[in-house]
Structure 1
């Protein structure tokens, strides 16, 4: 079973969505997520994932250093900051950057609640497509 780590700055939204999708769609993968910092789970991320039948409400926001020691096959950074500050992972982990828009940053400028949710939905769906395509989507 391939082990994959989804890494984002705060482990609150994009990396949580990716882990949720991987666990839901890809039982052939051992999926984990973590952050460079801890921001807590984003309630909008929980909401839009639940719309698709994926429950991430019990997930914890965690730091990379809080993960169990293991060798990952893939370390996937999902934001520019995580890509730039990604820690070293020993072993043969393939490090891949797959950047996605930051829903909280985009949504905070929007006054309409439905427009804010739509930003999260769009990124959720983009992440789903990336996860569905693993490993090919990580080879591009």
Structure 2
């Protein structure tokens, strides 16, 4: 699995980030840089409506990128409704090379590891203010337009940063499903690695 992830990381690190996306990501880069300069905790809570696809991808890839560049960031995710971490999201992460274990049934908890000895990234659908998430001094990173537009206030957030992605849900149960989930995963991965690579400059 590690070899598969390393192969994917080579491709991800070489992805070209379009200028318009770089401008969007710069706000997140500046936030993280400022926290590092002040030697304050870096906490990012990625938020989408159901906490099942884009916010989960974002949490996993942001934490992986932070660990890769040795930035002491803590990455979380949440939603405005509780459903379940979508199995298609989990399947895509496994195709990328993550080691994933499943615990429970109706709203399973998944542990994702990027190496055998890494700290597990905990994935399950939850509200953005779930007990597992930070309740103060964090940035809320809004990954979908619905949550961004319908949840105008996130209690405890010191910054609100829109980084929106298209929902791969549109391709569920189609021949393009796996390819589209992997494409969104790679896009998010590329952007999160871009963000943390710039933090070190």
| TM band (smaller chain) | 0.7 to 0.9
Unmatched runs of 5 consecutive residues or more in structure 1: none
Bigger drift between 2-11 and 21-30 goes to: 21-30
Alignment match, 1:46: 90
Alignment match, 1:10: 50
Which of 129, 133, 139 pairs up with 1:65?
129
Bigger drift between 3-12 and 88-97 goes to: 88-97
TM-score by length of 1: 0.82
Deviations 1:89-112 (A, max 9, x none): 3556221111111111x21373x2
2:78 and 2:59 map into 1 onto residues whose CA distance is 9
8 Å Cα contact 1:20/1:55 also seen in 2: no
8 Å Cα contact 1:20/1:54 also seen in 2: no
Which of 123, 134, 140 pairs up with 2:184?
123
Change over 3 Å in CA distance of 1:79–1:50 after alignment to 2:
same
Q: Paired residues, what number?
A: 133
8 Å Cα contact 1:4/1:76 also seen in 2: yes
Quote the RMSD (CA, aligned, Å). 2.3
2:135 and 2:181 map into 1 onto residues whose CA distance is 31
Bigger drift between 68-77 and 121-130 goes to: 68-77
Change over 3 Å in CA distance of 1:72–1:5 after alignment to 2:
farther
